[in-house]
Amino acid sequence: MSRHDDRVTLQQMRDNVRRAGSLADRLSRTELDTDWVATLALVQLLQIIGEAARRLSERFRDEHGGVPWSRIIGLRNRLIHGYDTVDLDRLWLILTQDLPELASFLDRVLDTEQA
């Protein structure tokens, strides 16, 4: 995959990270248990983010080895194949702790690599 393709994929990731963050910001942890529409939307957004991470070139992922790519991709797989056993406590931690870090990384990379 070319740098251009990686850039498009990174922009898609950033868009979906922002969507998930915006939705999560409007929810409490308790609401995650009770608002099944929001929960399904968040799960779907995390699946999309993981799929996009999988599409990034190996070269890009290697150059940015500090990002837990295998965990992001693994989460996608877990959410798709284990949809009936999603741990909402873990999901909440991902949304409130891991996602903001990923958002910052994506902003830095996309702002730095303006082409």
Which residues are catalytic, by number? Answer: 76, 81
**How far is it, in rounded angstroms, from Cα 60 to Cα 63?**
5
Contacts of residue 49, Cβ cutoff 8 Å, sequence gap at least 6: 13, 16, 17, 20, 72, 76, 102
The tokens of 79 are what?
Answer: 């959410």
Cα distance between residue 105 and residue 36, in whole Å: 29
Angle at 80 between CA 74 and CA 83, to 5 degrees: 115
